[in-house]
């Protein structure tokens, strides 16, 4: 399964980066191949200063070795070996009318001292973070997520949509990071789903990513905007940074397993503002966004 899924994310990385380069029309992805001293490595691809994308990364990794003590406590296990692989992407468009997007699909195995698998699971999801709210974009993104989920179970979309709203939440700000999407973790074999079934579901969601995001970026990338709107985008990006550094489990896992720091922090946008006690004007589009983020909404 680990070889099969790693092959899948290699191919998916190629598909996604090729399409994004076409959309940008100016910048291309810079590729870094890296190795982790304890075992494994990855292929980091970053795009910067493009016509459409100010910064973005589409990274894959496959790492293995002894599970660090800090993560043993987290998973409530003793001395075990692990393997983890996944694709993680974040795209920060230049135009404030175009939303930031994040996605991640991953697979994890743990082994006993004989090398036998004692646990394995899939996780992942995709979510949208707009700076200006266009209802049609939110509906399109969520409908694409729901269509992918519905092919596997009618329970998946409402369950994983709710988990996404709960997970990507800046509790210290009392607001969502964005308008959500899907978030699933610890997807293990059970009475109704084999690991093969989970593989089919996770790859279905992965394959839906471009369909979910490309029509939105195509609609918004060339819209006119003002410097004030750009300032708002940078203030909101600050909230994105806060979530990734304060709450995000993936960032924590990478830092605690001696992951490659440049790949872990590639999700951070290049231009950000923290303005003291900033509040948008009452009745403005900016306030509309804030109010939407304070209460999860059903988009489909």
**Annotated active-site positions, please?**
102
Six token digits for residue 212: 């979910």
Question: Hey, how many other C-beta atoms are within 10 angstroms of the C-beta on 163?
Answer: 16
CA distance 260 to 300: 38
Handedness of CA 21, 97, 224, 265 (dihedral sign): negative
Which of 91, 159, 86 minimizes the C-alpha distance to 123? 86
Which of 213, 5, 197, 183 minimizes the C-alpha distance to 92? 213
Angle (CA) 171 121 76, round 5°: 65
Secondary structure class of 79 (helix, strand, coil): coil
Angle (CA) 238 9 195, round 5°: 110
């Amino acid at each position: 399964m680990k070889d099969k899924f790693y092959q899948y994310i290699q191919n998916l990385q190629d598909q996604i980066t090729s399409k994004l380069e076409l959309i940008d029309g100016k910048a291309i992805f810079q590729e870094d191949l890296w190795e982790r001293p304890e075992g494994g490595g990855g292929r980091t691809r970053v795009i910067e200063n493009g016509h459409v994308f100010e910064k973005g990364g589409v990274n894959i990794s496959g790492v293995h070795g002894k599970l660090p003590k800090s993560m043993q406590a987290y998973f409530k296990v003793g001395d075990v070996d692990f393997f983890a692989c996944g694709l993680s992407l974040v795209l920060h468009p230049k135009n404030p009318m175009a939303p930031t997007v994040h996605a991640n699909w991953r697979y994890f195995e743990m082994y006993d001292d004989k090398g036998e698998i004692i646990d394995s699971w899939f996780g992942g999801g995709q979510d949208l973070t707009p700076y200006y709210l266009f209802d049609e974009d939110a509906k399109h993104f969520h409908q694409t997520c729901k269509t992918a989920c519905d092919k596997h179970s009618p329970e998946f979309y409402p369950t994983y949509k709710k988990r996404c709203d709960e997970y990507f939440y800046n509790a210290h700000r009392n607001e969502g990071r964005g308008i959500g999407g899907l978030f699933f973790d610890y997807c293990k074999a059970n009475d109704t789903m084999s690991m093969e079934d989970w593989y089919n579901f996770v790859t279905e969601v992965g394959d839906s990513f471009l369909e979910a995001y490309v029509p939105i970026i195509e609609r918004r990338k060339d819209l006119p905007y003002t410097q004030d709107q750009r300032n708002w985008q940078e203030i909101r990006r600050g909230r994105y940074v806060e979530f990734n550094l304060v709450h995000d489990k993936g960032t924590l896992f990478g830092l605690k397993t001696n992951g490659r720091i440049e790949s872990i922090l590639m999700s951070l946008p290049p231009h950000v503002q923290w303005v003291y006690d900033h509040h948008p004007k009452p009745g403005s589009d900016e306030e509309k966004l804030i109010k939407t983020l304070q209460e999860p909404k059903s988009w489909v």
